[in-house]
Chains A and B, each alone.
Chain A
Amino acid sequence: EIVLTQSPGTLSLSPGERATLSCRASQSVISSYFTWYQQKPGQPPRLLIHTTSNRATGIPDRFSGTGSGTDFTLTISRLEPEDFAVYYCQQFSSSPWTFGQGTRVEIK
């Protein structure tokens, strides 16, 4: 099973700041099968980034994804109030599909 480790666990930032979220895999992940999700309280997750670097439909361009192999990054260039949420990385390169434990982005 591929273990995904996200860091940091919590990111305390102010609106307008840049957020950099990291996800490290225990073994190499095929880039086509790597995604990021955003989840707000009481809501299902929302797909942000698929295939490592492609924004899902309707996702603003302040969200970007990069990475390859075992190291992946989600960047939010300028935090908007609605971006404060929990973010999960996820792989479906190898079954069972797995998620990271999540990074909470909170208002400083």
Chain B
Amino acid sequence: EVQLVQSGAEVKKPGESLTISCQASGYNFFTHWMSWLRQMPGKGLEWMGRINPTDSSTDYSPSFQGHVTISTDNSITTAYLQWTSLKASDTAIYYCATGITGWLYWGQGTLVTVSS
């Protein structure tokens, strides 16, 4: 069974750094790009970017380029989403997702709250 298990909810202050994780199991981690998506409170879905675990190549949406970093630790089949300086507007649920012809597999979501 394919599973994507994300790290737990976070509460941070503006300017702080944060890394959230997504541990994959039940499939060959190297065969699927892993994407991260954002859903702000009460809003729709936004694709942030993706990573190819095979060679760590990445592809970011211009809306998120330079503000977040996507990486993996292949030894533990885990993908990461990192911020160096959070803003209040980063408050959202973040999902990891993977698949070939669409995002068939999703993590449960990580709620990030940024508030002073």
* Min distance, Cβ B77 to any Cβ of chain A, angstroms: 19
List residues of chain B with CB within 8 A of the CB of A99: 44-47
Query: Is residue A32 contacting chain B, with contact meaning CB distance below 8 A?
Result: yes
B44 touches A102 (CB 8 A): yes
The size bracket of the interface on B is 10 to 19
Number of A-B pairs whose CB atoms are under 8 Å? 56
The size bracket of the interface on A is 20 to 34
* Min distance, Cβ B57 to any Cβ of chain A, angstroms: 13
What would be 24 A-B contacts, judged by CB atoms less than 8 Å apart? Answer: A37-B102, A37-B103, A39-B45, A44-B95, A44-B97, A44-B106, A44-B107, A44-B108, A45-B45, A45-B97, A46-B106, A47-B99, A47-B102, A47-B103, A50-B104, A54-B101, A56-B104, A57-B104, A88-B44, A95-B59, A96-B62, A98-B47, A100-B44, A102-B45
